[in-house]
Amino acid sequence: MESITGGNTPKYQELTEQLRLQIVSGEIAPGQKLPSENTLSAQYQVSRQTVRKALAILQNEGYIYAEHGRGTFCSEMMRHAHPSKNIAVVTTYLSDYIFPRVIQGIDDVLTGAGYSIVLKNTKNSRTREAECLQEILSKDIDGVIIEPSKSQIFCRHMNLYEQLEKSHIPYVFIQGCFPQMKDKPHVLLDDFQGGYMITKYLTDHGHKNIVGVFKADDMQGQNRHKGYVRALQEAEILYDPDKVVWFHTEDRKIHPYEAIREMAGKTLRGRMDAVVCYNDQTAQLVIRALQEEGLRIPEDVSVTGYDNSSLANKQGLRLTTIDHPQEKLGAMAAELLLSMIQNGEKEEGESVLIQPMLIEGNSCMEYR
């Protein structure tokens, strides 16, 4: 029978430390039920009051939790007490557009450091993001790189991010972060500057009737729009909300096309000389809409993209676009997360802002 002799140390502190060591070492596993107060009292030859005091301390520290009528259990947060060499990477999409190269950048760094990647995608759904986080919390994961879903909208599952922190699982946002979490570690492209640069390129080439097409529900779209507005202001061009098309995740494949086709058909025909697009995917929809209305690119209307993706070069038309260093962005996020894991601490406020670069194609022309 084990006993606590104590000496000058209070018995409840000795019991607390012994139980804590059993939990940290894995002798008591996550989710495992602890012996009853009577059993612990007999095992360590201490009073039930001493046992209660020790358990209260461990519960307050997050090592254990109590369920009424069932007993006391080892916390799931202890599942993450031992390195698993697994990193969760959560993106809005996996297999199309810029995402494979972002993931490649992450994988190159993490594989080199001996880690394995667990890939998850949310399809830009808040519900799916919450489900991914709940799954991550139930598994052996050392850290998370996450592209937030609909990052411009207030996050309603903050409790899951708080649980990551309580479980000592560091996380890094990539390509966006929620409005109330801007102090959390993140790696972003400077989308305000990118939106400004691409619009200024058009105003410098004589364009004055510039339509903007932006995504409303993510941080990138909002910041690119702000850059667009700033460039118009500097060129002394009056901002016209009727020349801005806003779309959402759910209608991204149809609304930009329909809105631009309507503008080109009647609303702005002859008064639209350029279109600034949220990204290269959007630009392809815009170009198709304009061409179906009999307009030529760039002779009648200049069109710009964003991301410098494989879609930037199509059928001899090379988009003027903003370079998106996908692999570099992924690699920098991985390096930041590794630093947090190795330092054993949250690097609050740590962030990386990558400066954009304009890539000139043949989708724009001088307009005088």
Domain extent, residue 16, equals 11-79
Q: If DSSP codes are grouped into helix, strand and coil, which group holds residue 353? A: strand
By the 10 Å C-beta count (0-12 exposed, 13-18 middle, 19+ buried), 316 is classed as exposed
Residue 230 lies in a domain: yes
Beta strands, E only, the chain: 64-67, 71-74, 86-91, 116-121, 143-146, 171-174, 186-189, 210-215, 244-247, 274-277, 302-304, 313-314, 317-318, 321-323, 351-354, 357-359
Domain stop point among 53, 79, 105: 79
Q: Are 116 and 147 within one domain?
A: yes
Distance CA 308, CA 175 (A): 15
86-91/64-67 β-pairing: unpaired
Give the DSSP letter string of 140-158: --SEEEE--TTTTSPPS-H
In terms of domains, do 350 and 317 share one? no
The rounded distance, in Å, linking the Cα atoms of 24 and 164 is: 18
Identify the sign of the CA torsion 153, 159, 160, 166.
Answer: positive
CA angle 133, 187, 349 (to 5 degrees): 85
Query: What pLDDT is attached to residue 288?
Result: 95
Domain presence at residue 97? yes
Per-residue pLDDT tens for 279-290? Answer: 999 999 999 999
| Residue at 103 is within a domain | yes
Distance CA 220, CA 173 (A): 13
Domain check: are 314 and 341 in the same one? no
Within a 10 A sphere around the Cβ of 333, how many other Cβ atoms? Answer: 28
Tens digit of pLDDT at every position of the chain (368 positions):
566 665 678 999 999 999 988 887 778 888 899 999 999 999 999 999 999 999 999 998 888 989 888 999 998 766 665 678 999 999 988 766 778 889 999 999 999 999 999 999 999 898 999 999 988 887 889 999 999 998 888 888 888 898 888 788 899 999 888 888 888 999 999 999 999 999 999 999 999 999 999 999 999 999 999 999 999 999 999 999 999 999 999 999 999 999 999 999 876 666 899 999 999 999 999 999 999 999 999 999 999 999 998 877 877 899 999 998 989 999 999 999 999 988 865 445 478 899 999 999 999 988 76
Asked whether 293 and 310 are in contact (CB, 8 A), the reply is no
**What's the pLDDT score for residue 349?**
47
DSSP letter for 290, please: H
pLDDT of residue 351: 83
Residues 37 and 183 occupy one common structural domain? no
- Pick from 79, 105, 122: which residue ends a domain? 79
Beta carbons within 10 angstroms of residue 246's beta carbon: 19
Radius of gyration of the chain (CA): 27
204 sits in which H/E element: helix 191-204
Query: For the chain, what is the domain count?
Result: 3
User: From the centroid of its chain, how far is CA 347?
Assistant: 16
Q: Are residues 150 and 198 in the same domain?
A: no
What global pTM score does this model have?
Answer: 0.75
Looking up tokens 């708080």 gives 162
Q: Are residues 57 and 45 in the same domain?
A: yes
Give burial (CB, 10 Å; 0-12/13-18/19+) of 181.
middle
